[in-house]
Structure 1
Amino acid sequence: MMRAFPKNFLWGVAASAYQTEGAVEKDGRGQSVWDVYAHTPGRTTNGDTADIACDHYHRYPEDIALMSGLGVKAYRLSTAWPRIYPHGKGQVNRRGLDFYDRVIDLLLHEGIEPWICLHHWDMPVAIEEKGGWRNRDTARIFADYAATVIAHFSDRVKRFAPINEPNVIPWVAYNVGRHAPGQQDYAACLAAIHTLNLAHGHTVKAVRAEAPKAEVGNIVSLGPVRPHYQDAAHEQAVVLGDCLWRRVTVDPLWLGIYPEPIASEIEPLIQGDDMDVISQKMDFFGLNHYNPVFVGPNPTTSFGISETPPPIGMGPLTDVNWVVDPDAFLEQIRDTSARYNKPVIYITENGASFADALTPDRKVIDPDRIAYFNAYLGRLLDAIEEGHDIRGYFAWSLMDNFEWGRGFSKRFGLVYVDYPTLQRIPKASYHWLSGVIGQNGL
């Protein structure tokens, strides 16, 4: 028996500028923190860089044709801050805007709605050199960049989000030091949390001013936080981990407060009407979900905790060692809906990496990914049937791409990218999901 999704359910795919575009020195683009990080020896697997990535900058017509063939009606892209403001502020690079004009116009021609995320981790180096997210002035600088993009595309784009996964930036870039700029600093982590929240609030205000008919929401990666071992030290790590991972860049936006046990630590950073700016009314909650997060004590990190590998025997696992646990997906949806007063929810990322390989006849058969999507979409239907207001689902990702510190060693795509030739090859999961979208059900 087929289980149907709601009649107007929105199907989409998601990708990011830095992971796909390449062309890092093309048409006036400035340098980003990830350009520097990826070119630093030892930072990425095999020394991979995104200088070429998937060459989406030149091959976007082919990629949009793949979206059309899949049957999606929305594409969540990010605009590259250093492509539009090479130095983070000052003179606009018109050629950067021109590129996204071409992409968006072709998307609309193909009947695909563009959703713009204004930042997916590629901060201009010039802004990082002045403190980056550690400097509260960055919040307004970012909002000025965002206002430029919003105003330029407001005639064609109706949904915006300020920052992709702002919770990941403090946790991974400043607590663990595994993402650009690769620091481990307690004070910097706290400052980044608050500046990111301020940047979000100012950007929501910019959407209201520049595109009053558009919708705006947050995009955050959430999953239940669990102890690696069942002991007092790990239970304590869960309390702090849940605060840092799920709450500090969400509660201020939706509830207007910082959560315990970190509220008192951030209080000295709050000035004037900061909390009113941060807690602007939003139109939707963008939920990214992949897996539950296991944590434990780690004295080498800024906060003394970090994510751990899953406990032994926990499985199955994806190729990046994340637990496949669709029940955790349903648990997270329930938590989000209950904690934030039943917001409109879009699943803005969900997917899995597996060790895909080309067959001799140049096909990619990926039954594990099909099983993953089938299980998670099943739980999504359960959530909808429970009454949670879920309006759409964006698969991550359209195609294999530069997977940050893991370089090109991990593949999340529905489309296989043969990096030596950059040929795009739809996987079995692409054709399976196309069938799901076509019948709007499982």
Structure 2
Amino acid sequence: MTRQFPAGFLWGAAASAFQTEGAAAIDGRGPTVWDDFTRAPGKIRNGDTADVACDFYHRYPEDIALMKGLGLGAFRLSTAWSRILPSGRGTVNPLGLDFYDRVIDLMLHEGIEPWICLHHWDMPSPIEADGGWRNRDCARWFADYAAIVGRHFGDRVKRFVPINEPNVIPWVAYNVGRHAPGRQSREDTVKAIHHINLAHGLTIQAVRAEAPGAEAGNIVSLGPVHPAVDDEAHRAVLPLAECIWRRVMVDPLWLGTYPEPLATEIEPHIAEGDMAVIRQPLDFFGLNHYNRVYVAPTDTTMWGLIERVPPPGYPLTDVNWRIDPSALVEQIEDVGSRYGHPPIYITEGGCAFPDALRPDRSVHDPDRIAYFADYFTALAGAIENGADVRGYFAWSLMDNFEWNSGFTKRFGLVYTDYPTLQRIPKSSYYWMRGVIAKNAVIPPEGRP
């Protein structure tokens, strides 16, 4: 059954600076926590680094041509803080601004709307050396950077977001230690939560001051939280898991309060006026959605809980995420009911599968087509039932550096042949092109 999307529905794709740009030590870019993390033994699979990544820095005209060929109405990129401010603050690097000028101007020339995410986890190393998100001053340093970006690009960019998936940073980078900077500290986690939220509010203020014609929103990765095993011990950690994963980086922005059971613990770090700064009017809710989250009690983390793979019996992607379109609909409904039914954009969605390059140098990925078809069908149904979802950004345009998995996981609509850096559109790319052209779900081959 073909499902139509509303007229004007925005189709996009997304990628981040660190995962795609490369050019790590070129034209004045400074080091980041992820550059440092990739050089720490045993942190990244196969010892991979993003020094070259996809070389988007030099190959962006080819990649923008792929965006145009796909029919994208928008592309969500992140600006690299350390490419614009190599030390994180102080002197601006004009070559960094020049690079994004070229990218944005070419996108606009091709009819593709640029969305800027100001931070996709690649904090400048000097900022981390001064405490990073543990340091309250970091919120102001980040807002100063945001003001520079808003002032320079606000004449052309009309959608800004401060931080991608801020909930991932405390959970994965400060609790589990699996992401840069690789800390494991309850105190650091609590400080980071509040300072990231404060940075968000200050950044929204800065963007509105420097780019008054632009819209601003948040981007958070959310999925329903479940016990990995349905027993009393697992159910006992659900309130804390729900708070850390879904609420503590969203409620303050939209409701002006911290949720329990963390509100009391965060309170000592809140200065007078902070909550009013954090709760700025937002134009849209950016929802990244991949999976339901399964949690379990543990004595190996500071918080006494850990994320687990889904229970047996569910279809999974190559990163062990459950394929379940109903979770997307459930999350859309939760966002709407809890936060006053804001306009929603799905700012990331997608899947990793072990794509292989065929002898004729084509890539056939029917699993990805089936994945998107099922999720788009569920999304169209949610919109028909009243959900105010206005666009969908596929993650990702191309295969890229997938954080601690290095280059072993492929999310792209375009295959990146890393030895040659050749871009090869997968069969999902051509299928997606048809979806965008028709503004409707196209049943995969073999389905009615």
Q: Shorter-chain TM-score: what band?
A: over 0.9
Q: Where does residue 38 of structure 2 map in the other structure? A: 38
Is the contact between residue 222 and residue 245 of structure 1 (CA under 8 Å) also seen in structure 2? yes
Q: Deviations over 1:104-135 (max 9, x none)?
A: 00000000000000000000000000100011
Asked if structure 2 preserves the Cα contact closer than 8 Å seen for 1:417 and 1:423, the reply is yes
Deviation at 1:2, TM superposition (A): 2.8
Please list the CA deviations of residues 418-437 of structure 1 after superposition, one character each: whole Å capped at 9, or x if unmatched. Answer: 00000000000000010000
Distance 2:269 2:236 in 1: 25
Measure the CA separation in 2 of the matches of 1:375 and 1:239. 30
Task: Give the whole-Å Cα distance in 2 for the aligned partners of 1:247 and 1:306.
Answer: 17
- Alpha-carbon distance in structure 2 between the residues aligned to 1:52 and 1:354: 22
> What is the deviation of 1:213?
1.0
Structure 2 partner of 1:376:
375
Please give the per-residue CA displacement for 1:63-100, whole angstroms capped at 9, x wherever unaligned.
00000000011000000000000000000000000000
Matched, 1:257 2:257: yes
Q: Deviations over 1:200-232 (max 9, x none)?
A: 000000111111110000000000001000111
Distance in structure 1 (CA, Å) of the matches to 2:144 and 2:383:
37
- Unpaired runs of at least 5, structure 1: none
State the SS of the aligned residue for 1:220: strand
Mapped partners of 2:298, 2:63: distance in 1: 42
Give, in whole Å, the separation in 1 of the partners of 2:249 and 2:193: 7
Q: Residue by residue, what CA displacement relative to the aligned partner does 1:355-394 show, whole Å, maximum 9, x if unpaired?
A: 0001111111101100100011111111111111111100
Give 1:209's aligned residue: 209
1:274 matched to 2:238 = no
Distance 2:391 2:251 in 1: 23
Residue of structure 2 equivalent to 1:58:
58
For 2:445, the equivalent position in structure 1 comes to none
Correspondence for 1:179: 179
State how far apart, in whole Å, the 1-side matches of 2:189 and 2:233 are. 22
* 2:106 maps to 1:135: no
Q: Which moved more, 1:271-280 or 1:302-311?
A: 302-311
Partner of 2:417: 418
Q: Secondary structure at the match of 1:75?
A: strand
Q: Determine the C-alpha separation between the residues in 2 that align with 1:14 and 1:354.
A: 18
Aligned equivalents of 2:184 and 2:2: distance in 1? 49
> What amino acid is aligned across from residue 436 of structure 2 in structure 1?
I
> 2:385 maps to what in 1?
386
How big is the alpha-carbon RMSD for the aligned residues of Structure 1 and Structure 2?
A: 0.6
Partner of 2:446 in structure 1?
Answer: none
In the other structure, the counterpart of 1:406 is 405
Equivalent pair of 1:174/1:302 in contact (CA under 8 Å): no
Greater shift, 377-386 or 347-356, is seen at 377-386
User: SS of 1:118's equivalent?
Assistant: strand
Distance 1:43 1:3 in 2: 43
The corresponding residue for 1:367 is 366
Instruction: State how far apart, in whole Å, the 2-side matches of 1:375 and 1:312 are.
Output: 21
Off by >6 Å, runs of 4+ in structure 1: none
Partner of 2:354: 355
Amino acid at match of 1:379: A
Aligned match of 1:293: 293
Query: Structure 1: how far apart are the matches of 2:19 and 2:298?
Result: 29
Which range moved further: 229-238 or 156-165? 229-238
- The correspondence of residues 69-84 of structure 1 with structure 2, limited to 5 A, is 69-84=69-84
SS of 1:295 mapped into structure 2: strand
Q: Among the aligned pairs, what percent are the same residue?
A: 69
Aligned residues: 441
Aligned-partner Cα distance in 2 for 1:88–1:330: 39
Provide the C-alpha distance between the structure 2 equivalents of 1:264 and 1:417, rounded to a whole number of angstroms. Answer: 47
**What is the identity, as a one-letter code, of the residue corresponding to 1:278?**
I
The residue number in structure 2 matching 1:310 is 310
1:417 positional shift: 0.3
- What's the counterpart of residue 241 of structure 2? 241
* Matched AA of 2:409: K
Q: Secondary structure at the match of 1:114?
A: strand
Q: Secondary structure at the match of 2:143?
A: helix
Tell me whether 384-393 or 10-19 shows the greater mean CA deviation: 384-393
CA contact (8 A) 1:54 1:422 kept: yes
1:436 maps to a residue whose letter is V
Question: Aligned residue for 2:335?
Answer: 336
Deviation string 1:387-407 (CA, Å, 9 cap, x unpaired) is: 111111000000000000000
How far does the alpha carbon of each residue in 1:109-167 deviate from its partner, in whole angstroms, 9 at most, with x for none? 00000000000000000000010001111000000001000100011000000000000
SS at the partner of 1:11? Answer: strand
| Corresponding position of 2:444 | none
The alignment partner of 1:226 has SS state of strand
Query: What is the alpha-carbon distance in structure 1 between the residues aligned to residue 381 and residue 348 of structure 2?
Result: 18
Map of 1:136-151 to 2, 5 A cutoff?
136-151=136-151
Aligned equivalents of 1:366, 1:65: Cα separation in 2 = 21
Query: Unaligned stretches of 5+ in structure 2?
Result: 442-448
In the alignment, structure 1 residue 152 sits paired with structure 2 residue 152: yes
Distance (Å, rounded) in 2 between the aligned partners of 1:302 and 1:312: 27
| Cα displacement (A) at 1:36 | 0.3
Following the alignment from structure 1 to structure 2, what is the Cα–Cα distance between the partners of residues 233 and 38?
Answer: 36
TM-score where L is the length of structure 1: 0.99
After superposition, the C-alpha distances for 1:288-344 in whole angstroms (9 at most, x for unaligned) are: 00000000012111211111111122x210000110011111100100111001000
> Distance in 2 between the 1:388 and 1:205 partners?
28
Match of 2:257, SS state, is coil
Conserved in 2, the CA contact under 8 Å of 1:23 and 1:51?
yes
Give, in whole Å, the separation in 1 of the partners of 2:401 and 2:127. Answer: 23
How far residue 238 of structure 1 moved from its aligned partner, in angstroms, is: 1.5
Question: Are residues 1:169 and 2:162 paired?
Answer: no
